[in-house]
């Protein structure tokens, strides 16, 4: 009997380790602007202005979606920054697996460098997998990750973060020209200005205050701590 129980447990452990297929269930997702009506949207993967240069598979409407819990936490961020004269501008949130698959196909075609000058001028496209710019799975597909920045409410201008969204390079790292944990700027020739570094820290501080965790390679990328679907990848298209 003991051997049978151990065997059953082993089978259960193996099953839990198998890669789950992406799901089409969208039950727990909301449109972010339904929760944060004044959020500014610039959904890059619905447009052709992105590192691929075409609309990305699965982006059927220029909207942003997240799990309900993540959207509620982002609303708290929005209320926080509005008190300081800022609004949230969102480039991407939930990303279907089919979009990630599109990125992979694009990365495998090393001859397609149409957008290199705008997003990866200093990176050899053939090294995108090796240098961890492109992955087979993305945290965005779990539904509680968002790419965003801050806009001055008075002027309508984005805060100057030094380098743009989806810039492939060390310049996008939060610790570029400083220590983000201590929020200390370190001057570097040709690097960020103190204002640019500080602007990144304003966004980072607001996001972390309300339960989001930063990524160490992208100043714009945050994931809700304790996200509701840490092991589930979704693949329903982005549309209402």
Residues serving a catalytic function are 218
Secondary structure letter of residue 138 according to DSSP = -
To the nearest 10 degrees (0 to 180), the angle between helices 68-82 and 194-209 is 130
For 163, 183, 185, 186, 190, the CA distances from 179, given in Å and listed in that order, are 17, 5, 6, 8, 17
* Dist CA 52 CA 57 (whole Å): 11
For 45, 130, 133, 142, 227, the CA distances from 52, given in Å and listed in that order, are 9, 18, 13, 22, 28
Q: What is the DSSP secondary-structure string of 42-92? A: --TTTSS-SSSSSPPTTB-SS--EEEHHHHHHHHHHHHHHHTTTEEEEEEE
């Amino acid at each position: 009997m003991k051997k049978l129980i151990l065997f059953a447990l082993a089978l259960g452990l193996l099953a839990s380790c198998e890669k789950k297929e992406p799901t089409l269930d969208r039950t727990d997702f909301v449109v972010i602007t339904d929760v944060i009506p004044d959020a500014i949207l610039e959904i890059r993967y619905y447009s052709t202005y992105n590192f691929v240069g075409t609309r990305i598979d699965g982006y059927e409407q220029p909207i942003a979606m997240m799990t309900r819990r993540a959207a509620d936490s982002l609303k708290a961020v929005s209320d926080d920054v509005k008190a300081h004269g800022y609004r949230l501008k969102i480039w991407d949130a939930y990303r279907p697996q089919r979009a990630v698959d599109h990125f992979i196909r694009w990365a495998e075609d090393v001859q397609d460098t149409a957008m290199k000058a705008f997003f990866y001028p200093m990176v050899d496209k053939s090294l995108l997998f090796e240098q961890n710019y492109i992955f087979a799975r993305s945290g965005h597909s779990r539904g509680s990750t968002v790419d965003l920045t801050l806009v001055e409410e008075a002027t309508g201008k984005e805060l100057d973060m030094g380098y743009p969204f989806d810039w492939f390079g060390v310049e996008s790292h939060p610790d570029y020209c400083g220590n983000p944990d201590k929020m200390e700027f370190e001057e570097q020739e040709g690097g960020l200005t103190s204002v640019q570094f500080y602007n990144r820290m304003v966004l980072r501080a607001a996001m972390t205050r309300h339960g989001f965790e930063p990524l160490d390679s992208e100043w714009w990328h945050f994931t809700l701590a304790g996200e509701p679907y840490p092991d589930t990848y979704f693949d329903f298209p982005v549309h209402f």
